[in-house]
Amino acid sequence: MTSQPATLTKLEYLDGLRGLAALYVVLFHAILGFRHEPEDVLTKVLLRLFCFGHEAVAVFIVLSGYCLTLSATRGGKRPFQVEFFPFLRRRARRILPPYFVALCGSLLLIALVPALGVGKLTGSIWQDSHPAFSRASLVTHFLLIHNWFPETVHTINGPLWSVATEWQIYLLLPTVFVPVYRRRGALGMIAVAAALGYGALAFWPEWSRTAISWYTVLFAVGSAGALLHVGPQGDTVRRLRRLPWNLIASAFTVLLALCGLGAASIWFRYQPMTDLLVGLCTAAVLIAAAEGSLGGGLPGPLKVLSSRFALGLGRISYSLYLSHLPILALVAATLEGAGVSPWVYRATMGIGGSVASLAVAALLYVSVERHFLNHPASERSR
């Protein structure tokens, strides 16, 4: 027997989770991306704690699938359906203007600031930004296909690779994921996403590892997590919703912490699989949070996601993600030759670089991004 889906409305904690993930990516690049010095025990601990920037991007992809599904169903008020061209117009309006502003701003900084040019900041993540002005780099970035090619995936502004990957997954939502879901349900949708993502890894491994093709599965897992609440409520779905999601989410989190911190060499070697674990953990957290929201309150540990600080970060998270790396490179260039100790350098990069990145992100949000928002905070993917 099938009943009406629940209606999810005020989900501010989604912005909080997005904001904290974006800030973690900034700290990841600030602390690990630039100068490398001999490491003492405390430094090794710091580096280990902030070495999971790629995993934070995986969280974004799950959130994207989750939020876009909530948007497509209007939080449970209508069936899961997505019309191709209207959907792409909304996504283009939401994603592309800040992206192109950040892209052009990065190129302008590289052109005007000699310290950010070719051969500068050697040994740092910023080296991958070059050649920024090659024809291949410019064309692929403006077409959002730079993530297909090893020589362009990280040029100009490295984090922009994931925007291209997410944009390409958007094309699959109305053309593949929704039709499969309507015929085969959420498990069928996840299975097809896995066949696409891991099939590409099997047959075209170099391209797949550059494009991160298995993110299709994470997006589908996020969508399925939302559909557990806003899709048709049959007997199987109701049984799934009665599972102890708080306990499942906690167990996943502990497992990931133990594996990531205790077995890093294995963890980073099998990224297509560990990304899937991150995706499942994120989906479990989102399901537990939604159950708490429908029951009248968030689980205790998740209340931090609705704090004023987390929500403020969430509002500017996309702008922060787009703009932070060139700002960190400017801070690093300023510190070059200053003769500061490794700890002072990392503290300045982590604290000063993050503050500067937040300031620029707030400016980008106010001047550009906020004018292109399509939906309330609880329904937007970025």
| Average pLDDT for 314-339 | 94
Query: What number of H helices and E strands is found in the chain?
Result: 17, 0
What is the per-residue pLDDT for 377?
42
State pLDDT tens for residues 133-159. 999 999 999 999 999 999 999 999 999
- b/e code 104-119 from CB counts within 10 Å (16+ = b): ebbbebbeeeeebeee
What is the per-residue pLDDT for 306?
86
Question: What is the pLDDT confidence band of residue 299, given thresholds at 50, 70 and 90?
Answer: low
Please, are residues 233 and 5 in contact by the beta-carbon 8 Å criterion?
yes
Q: How far is CA 119 from CA 114, 122, 138, 327, 338, in A?
A: 10, 6, 19, 18, 19
- Report yes or no on 143 lying in a domain: yes
Q: How far is CA 144 from CA 140, 335, 363, in A?
A: 6, 33, 24
- Report yes or no on 335 lying in a domain: no
Question: What is the pLDDT confidence band of residue 32, given thresholds at 50, 70 and 90?
Answer: very high
Looking at the predicted structure, is the pLDDT value of residue 104 above 80? yes
- Report yes or no on 55 lying in a domain: yes
Question: What's the domain range around 314?
Answer: 13-28+50-327+362-376
- Report yes or no on 123 lying in a domain: yes
Q: What does pTM read for this prediction? A: 0.93
Which of 59-63, 74-78, 296-300, 346-350 is predicted with the least confidence, judged by mean pLDDT? 296-300
What is the per-residue pLDDT for 103?
98
Looking at the predicted structure, is the pLDDT value of residue 76 above 80? no
What is the per-residue pLDDT for 56?
97
What is the per-residue pLDDT for 4?
58
- Report yes or no on 93 lying in a domain: yes
Question: What is the pLDDT confidence band of residue 181, given thresholds at 50, 70 and 90?
Answer: very high
- Report yes or no on 38 lying in a domain: no
> Which pair of tokens denotes residue 382?
């970025």
- Report yes or no on 3 lying in a domain: no
Q: How far apart are CA 48 and CA 263, in angstroms?
A: 11
What is the per-residue pLDDT for 315?
95
- Report yes or no on 130 lying in a domain: yes
Count of structural domains, the chain: 1
| Average pLDDT for 197-214 | 96
What is the per-residue pLDDT for 291?
85
What is the per-residue pLDDT for 378?
38
* Residue with more model confidence, 281 or 301: 281
Which of 98-112, 290-304, 339-353 is predicted with the least confidence, judged by mean pLDDT? 290-304
